[in-house]
Structure 1
Amino acid sequence: MKPEAVAQLQAREFAWTPADFERIRQLIYRHAGISLHEGKQAMVYSRIARRLRETGHDSFRAYLDWLESSRDPTEWQEFINALTTNLTSFFREQHHFVELARLVREQPAQEWKIWCSAASTGEEPYSIAITMADALGVGGRFRIWASDIDTRVLQVAQRGIYKLEQLKPLSPEQLRRYFLRGKGANEGLARVKPELQRHLQFLTLNLIDEHWPLQETFDVVFCRNVMIYFDHATQRKVLARIHRVLKPHGTLFVGHAENFSDVRDLFRLRGKTIYERL
């Protein structure tokens, strides 16, 4: 990091040293698999400084000492929440939903089981649900497990309430069919209809945990724009476990910046950022 950038950080509310950053980097890697590079120092300072204010600590060292000595999982979850990134939108990477619809229409009679492994604030799993309902009807046989490591964003997803401007990628017909528009104080908002939401189950899940709270094998897994935060060893470990919960020839959708050519023993590239389980 450039000396002037370090000086700028040190001039802020709390003292900040390379040792603080390194310690945070090791902790988040150990607990969430997230690999932070040097360019993330300003982001880390800003997000963890909020935890210092919330918990009443006057230095990063004091906060981290307290965090590591604490047996209460609540602050560990807040620490992880603070360092996760939750960029998402409805029907992001549209070609994935086109392919999902094609797959479903080829086998409309089966019960489809889909796992969205980085649900964030819900736009992705609801996009999946809308795609499935468009193909099979809202009463169709499909179930979606929507998980995330960040408990705060999952609460937003479970509420299923969005600003109308967030719903612009939907067609007018989809908006009418799957959402209830707010009135009065809720003008400009829309809520996911219960008949669509009933297909989804939300759960907290850390992809690097040894035991995932999943009892199913899936036809489709969405794991998009997650692996970019993991190093190679963690990617391989997570992909091997996704392989185990995907049915043979099941489909894995990944993010536009992710390439897994070194796991050819597990997955075969079948389209743009679309893999088939071997």
Structure 2
Amino acid sequence: MAALAHRLEDDDHLSDADFIKISNLIGQQVGIKLPPSKRLMVEGRLRRRLRALDLASFSDYGDYLFRLDGLETEITYLINAVTTNKTDFFREPEHFELMQKKLVAELIAQRRDRLPLLKVWSAASSTGAEAYTAAMVLADMVAQRRDFRFAVLGTDISTDVLDIGRRAIYPAEQVVPMPPGMQSRHLMQARRPGARPEVRIVPELRRLVRFDQLNLMDESYPYDRDVDIILLRNVLIYFEKADQAKVISRLVGHLRPGGYLLLGHSESMIGTSITMRQVAPAVFQKT
């Protein structure tokens, strides 16, 4: 019976009209492109929502969204389901090495306050690995230099991944790219490891990292305009060109003069249209 149910589930698909409506809705709401090639991915991710809502088919789900006024209730779950949240600790490590060797020192040198607060923003933070990686690098630098403080903000459209970031609990295999010394300083091991070992970011570091929900398609962002480093990596590739330009423009408006915008290496060509000084691959400085 289970096998039969699975086959029936695989044979069920979104109608062309409902997929187009969902694709247009996600594009309008969060800027993410969902071309026809993503259709099977969308269906696979939405099957869990059908089960949660006790709906028998995608036709019923389409009715619920677009013909029975369920969209207002469902929109958050829909966004959570279809957004891609790929992230890793120390992903594209060259950026964190550059922070450590060059960017932080230059930013501090520009400041005249005795113990400046360095502000870092992970603008598509997903589950928080990027934000916590930045925090670990900065915490180690503070321990050595003792001449600055820091705070990290992580924002994302998905409430699911933000909850993971706030809990700061990760599968042990996810932190393998992290240097062993950093693991010992910044991670707690479970006292009774389960079948799948997990680790948690130490509370001292969690206190310095905050997570908020933010839609990059919003016309304005409710954050400080003296941010030192903004990481916007591997998210613009999902946006239309016009939306890419608008998002970058809004984010650059939150950088202090001399601050840095870090894009994903696959997005470096997107940055060539920015009226900022390029200082390294996919790294731009506001003048």
TM-score above 0.5, yes or no: yes
Match of 1:113 in 2: 119
Q: How does 1:45-124 map to 2 (within 5 A)?
A: 45-68=43-66, 70=69, 73-101=72-100, 102-106=102-106, 107=108, 109-124=115-130
Moved over 6 A (4+): none
Alignment match, 1:252: 261
Would the alpha carbon gap of residues 254 and 112 (structure 1) be closer, same or farther in structure 2, given more than 3 Å must change?
same
Q: Secondary structure at 1:184's aligned position in 2?
A: coil
| CA deviations over 1:157-184 (Å, ceiling 9, x no partner) | 1111123222222222211111121112
Note if 1:24 corresponds to 2:30.
no
Does 2:252 align with 1:243? Answer: yes
Flag the 1:63–1:156 CA change in 2: closer, same or farther, 3 A: same
For the residue of structure 1 that corresponds to 2:251, the secondary structure is helix
Are the counterparts in 2 of residues 105 and 135 from structure 1 also a CA contact under 8 Å?
Answer: no
Gaps of 5+ in 2: 1-6, 110-114
Residue deviations 1:193-247 (CA, integer Å, cap 9, x gap): 1111111111011100123232443111000011001001110111110111111
Distance, in Å, in 2 between the alignment partners of 1:163 and 1:188 is 6
Q: Please tell me the residue identity of whatever aligns with 1:96.
A: H
Q: Which moved more, 1:243-252 or 1:256-265?
A: 256-265
Find the partner of 1:127 among 120, 125, 133.
Answer: 133
Equivalent pair of 1:10/1:17 in contact (CA under 8 Å) = no
Tell whether the 8 Å contact from 2:225 to 2:253 is kept in structure 1 after alignment.
Answer: no
In the alignment, residue 26 of structure 2 is paired with which amino acid? I
Q: How far apart are the structure 2 equivalents of 1:157 and 1:233?
A: 30
1: distance between equivalents of 2:96 and 2:265? 14
Counterpart residue identity of residue 207, structure 1: L
Distance 2:78 2:251 in 1: 26
Counterpart residue identity of residue 49, structure 1: R
Match of 2:142 in 1: 136
- TM-superposed CA distance for 1:38, in Å, is 1.9
Partner residue, 2:3: none
Equivalent residues of 1:14, 1:58 under 8 A apart: no
- In structure 1, the gaps of 5 or more residues are 1-8
Q: Number of matched residues? A: 269
With 42-51 and 138-147 compared, the bigger mean Cα shift is at 138-147
Task: State the distance in 1 between where 2:271 and 2:262 align.
Answer: 14
Q: Distance in 2 between matches of 1:170 and 1:236?
A: 33
Matched, 1:263 2:273: yes
Aligned pair in 2 of structure 1 residues 184, 62: CA closer, same or farther (>3 Å)? closer
Contact 2:121–2:152, Cα closer than 8 Å, also in 1: yes
The 8 Å contact of residues 90 and 167 in structure 1, kept in 2 or not, is answered as yes
User: What aligned pairs does 1:39-50 form with structure 2 within 5 A after superposition?
Assistant: 39-50=37-48
Alpha carbons of structure 1 residues 73 and 246: separation in structure 2 relative to 1, 3 Å: farther
1:4-38 CA-partner distances (Å, limit 9, x unpaired): xxxxx998342433222211110110111101122
Pairing partner for 2:169 from 136, 155, 161: 161
DSSP 3-state at the match of 1:153:
helix
Alpha-carbon shift at residue 48 of structure 1 (Å)? 2.1
Give the Å deviation of 1:257: 1.1
Q: CA deviation at 1:253?
A: 0.6
Native 8 Å contact 1:52 1:60 kept in 2: yes
What is the root-mean-square deviation of aligned Cα atoms in Å?
2.4
Deviation at 1:92, TM superposition (A): 0.4
User: Is 155-164 or 83-92 further displaced after alignment?
Assistant: 155-164
Q: Which amino acid aligns with 2:127?
A: T
C-alpha displacement of 1:62: 3.9
Q: Which residue identity is paired with 1:237?
A: K
SS at match of 1:89: coil
Aligned sequence identity (%): 36
Amino acid at match of 2:149: R
Q: Which stretch of the first structure deviates more once superposed, 129-138 or 225-234?
A: 129-138
